């Protein structure tokens, strides 16, 4: 149950960060269209980095560090004053890069966490829970824009990503392990994590 709750939260944070940073980047100083295009452009290296990183460092470290680094990027974008537009934009783009890495990691990692008997249902359920973050993200972003507080959405996304990134350290690593076929094997995977730490 702990695994399901944490991965639910990771999906919500990952999707909220992804869409929230995208929406908030367009609220930054500078050309709306250029900011949006840059926000989309960073996804190309994000998916390439993510693809290699999950194989090199593992799924759990990639998910956790991606959320933490995205949170730090958001925090930096929130702290930097508006007159330092270039630094603010670069910080938000770094946050978006890691948010894209997180969303790419979530699909494969979620499927590896659950037993065969419930794998597709759990991926669907977790993906659906992520849509909560997708619904909330533009509301938070617009609230900040409409109240003249462009930094507040970045602080909210930073807080959520950092907290959930730390929680993800409690999940088991699935790199180079066999997928659990039964619930008992999934529980054994969990126990091997707690006994090795």
- pLDDT recorded at residue 56: 92
**Cβ–Cβ < 8 Å for 13, 164:** yes
Structural domains of the chain, count: 1
Angular region, 30: left φ>0, alpha ψ -120 to 50, beta rest: left
CATH of the domain at 138: 1.20.1250.20
What Å distances lie between residue 69 and 115, 181, 189, CA to CA? 30, 33, 27
pTM attached to this predicted model: 0.87
Q: How far apart are the first and last CA of the chain?
A: 20
Q: What is the pLDDT of residues 128-172, one digit of tens each?
A: 999 999 999 999 988 888 887 888 999 999 999 999 999 999 988
What Å distances lie between residue 59 and 30, 110, 147, 169, 193, CA to CA? 36, 10, 38, 11, 14
What is the number of helices (H) and of strands (E) in the chain?
8, 0
- pLDDT recorded at residue 3: 86
Report, as ranges of residue numbers, the positions in the chain whose pLDDT lies below 70.
179-180, 186, 189-197
- pLDDT recorded at residue 2: 85
Determine the structural domain holding residue 45 and report its residue range.
2-196
| Residues contacting 106, CB < 8 A, separation 6+ | 7, 10, 11, 14, 63, 126, 130
**What stretch of H or E contains 20?**
helix 2-25
């Amino acid at each position: 149950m702990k695994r399901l709750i944490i991965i639910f939260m990771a999906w919500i944070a990952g999707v909220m960060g992804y869409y929230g940073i995208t929406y908030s980047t367009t609220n930054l100083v500078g050309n709306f269209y250029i900011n949006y295009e840059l926000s989309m452009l960073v996804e190309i290296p994000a998916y390439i980095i993510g693809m290699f990183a999950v194989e090199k460092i593992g799924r759990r470290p990639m998910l956790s560090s991606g959320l933490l680094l995205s949170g730090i990027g958001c925090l930096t974008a929130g702290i930097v004053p508006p007159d330092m537009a270039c630094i603010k934009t670069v910080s938000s783009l770094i946050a978006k890069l890691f948010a894209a890495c997180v969303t790419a990691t979530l699909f494969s990692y979620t499927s590896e966490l659950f037993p065969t008997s419930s794998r597709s249902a759990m991926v669907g359920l977790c993906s659906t829970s992520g849509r909560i973050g997708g619904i909330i993200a533009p509301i938070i972003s617009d609230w900040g824009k409409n109240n003249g507080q462009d930094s507040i959405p970045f602080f909210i996304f930073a807080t959520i990503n950092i907290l959930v990134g730390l929680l993800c350290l409690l999940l088991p690593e699935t790199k180079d392990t066999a997928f659990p076929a039964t619930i008992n094997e999934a529980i054994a995977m969990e126990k091997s994590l707690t006994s090795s730490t």
